[in-house]
């Protein structure tokens, strides 16, 4: 997996960065989902402890 | 029902005792988001979702003519952000969204309380919690990066208003501009997911409702906010 998208320069001798790699999109979505899941679990556990206390 | 059976009790004696909050409350509700800010919020939401859809749906395989929709909505977003910045700096209390010492102190106390380390309990926030302020800061950085890079990217397309001129920058600089736009856009997807999650959480519904109605109840105000840090305006 690459961080950037590349194209060949107009002279044909090197690669130039043309933007961020779209392969990263699922990773950003996964990071958001992970945050949501962890937060929901922590809040649920804290809520149960609160009720028990 | 714990009511005395005495028939001779007067009306004032049968009334529920007045709490200090009620005694000090001339109105049942307080204003949290004026209409202009709610309209801004929902226009911003519509434009960001449209931009994300027109950017990422073609990438994941849903092909359509997205360029015109994307740049036009991008102009709308840029104007909305500009209006918001002017309004926040001139007419709103922009300090309400800036981290201060009390936020950091309360944040440290919250972490200590969550870890069971003891110490004084965290105080209430003003209008916005520390995490809302941090979220706003992150969203502001990403949106401003997207808007700035997006405006430069307009130089690469023909529109009825201007002709393309891709020679403003060399290839490496265009690579940086496109990369900033791409990374910030993908990170914004993550922030939008988190934003919608918090809006849907039942314990945050009082905030979500206020983005529709504009107000929160006096009880919610007393329960969640420190009146010395946010002097809210009454609404009937």
Domain ranges of chain A: 24-53
Residue A47 clears pLDDT 90, i.e. is over it: no
**Interface mutation target, options B193, B195, B199, B201, chain A, most CBs of A under 10 Å:** B193
Rounded to a whole number of angstroms, the distance from the CA of B219 to the nearest CA of chain A is: 21
**Does A44 reach chain B within 8 Å, measured CB to CB?**
no
Residue B138 has a pLDDT of: 98
Three-state DSSP class for B233? strand
In chain B the domains, ranked by start, together with CATH numbers, are 31-235 (1.20.950.20)
Residue B85 has a pLDDT of: 97
Q: How many CB pairs under 8 A join A and B?
A: 60
- Other beta carbons less than 10 A from residue B92's beta carbon: 15
pLDDT band at A12 (very low <50, low <70, confident <90, very high): confident
Give the predicted TM-score (pTM) of the model.
0.86
- Residues B201, B202, B207, CA angle at the centre, nearest 5°? 80
**H/E run at residue A4:** strand A4-8
Chain A environment of B111 (Cβ under 8 Å): none
pLDDT tens string for chain B (236 positions)?
333 333 333 433 444 454 555 545 567 999 999 999 999 999 999 999 999 999 999 999 999 999 999 999 999 999 999 999 999 999 998 999 999 999 999 999 988 887 778 889 999 999 999 999 999 999 999 999 999 999 999 999 998 888 999 899 999 999 999 999 999 999 999 999 999 999 999 999 999 999 999 999 999 999 999 999 999 988 86
Residue A45 has a pLDDT of: 87
- Cα dihedral A25→A34→B43→B162 (10° resolution): -20
């Amino acid at each position: 997996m690459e961080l950037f998208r590349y194209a060949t320069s107009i002279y044909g001798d090197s690669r130039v960065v043309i933007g961020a790699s779209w392969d990263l999109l699922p990773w950003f979505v996964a990071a958001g989902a992970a945050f949501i899941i962890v937060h929901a679990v922590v809040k649920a556990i804290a809520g149960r402890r609160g009720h028990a206390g | 029902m714990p009511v005395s059976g005495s028939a001779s009790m007067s009306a004032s004696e049968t009334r529920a005792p007045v709490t200090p909050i009620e005694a000090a409350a001339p109105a049942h509700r307080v204003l949290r988001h004026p209409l202009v800010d709610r309209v801004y919020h929902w226009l911003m939401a519509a434009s960001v979702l449209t931009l994300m859809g027109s950017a990422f749906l073609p990438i994941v395989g849903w092909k359509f003519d997205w360029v015109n929709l994307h740049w036009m909505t991008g102009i709308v977003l840029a104007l909305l952000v500009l209006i918001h910045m002017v309004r926040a700096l001139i007419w709103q209390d922009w300090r309400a969204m800036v981290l201060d010492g009390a936020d950091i102190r309360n944040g440290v106390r919250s972490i200590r309380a969550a870890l069971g380390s003891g110490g004084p309990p965290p105080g209430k926030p003003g209008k916005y919690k520390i995490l809302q302020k941090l979220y706003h800061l992150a969203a502001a950085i990403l949106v401003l990066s997207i808007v700035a890079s997006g405006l430069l990217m307009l130089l690469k397309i023909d529109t009825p208003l201007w002709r393309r001129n891709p020679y403003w920058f060399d290839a490496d600089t265009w690579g940086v501009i496109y990369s900033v736009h791409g990374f910030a856009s993908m990170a914004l997807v993550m922030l939008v997911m988190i934003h919608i999650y918090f809006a849907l959480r039942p314990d945050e519904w009082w905030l979500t409702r206020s983005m529709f109605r504009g107000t929160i109840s006096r009880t919610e105000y007393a329960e969640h906010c420190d009146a010395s840090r946010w002097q809210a305006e009454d609404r009937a």
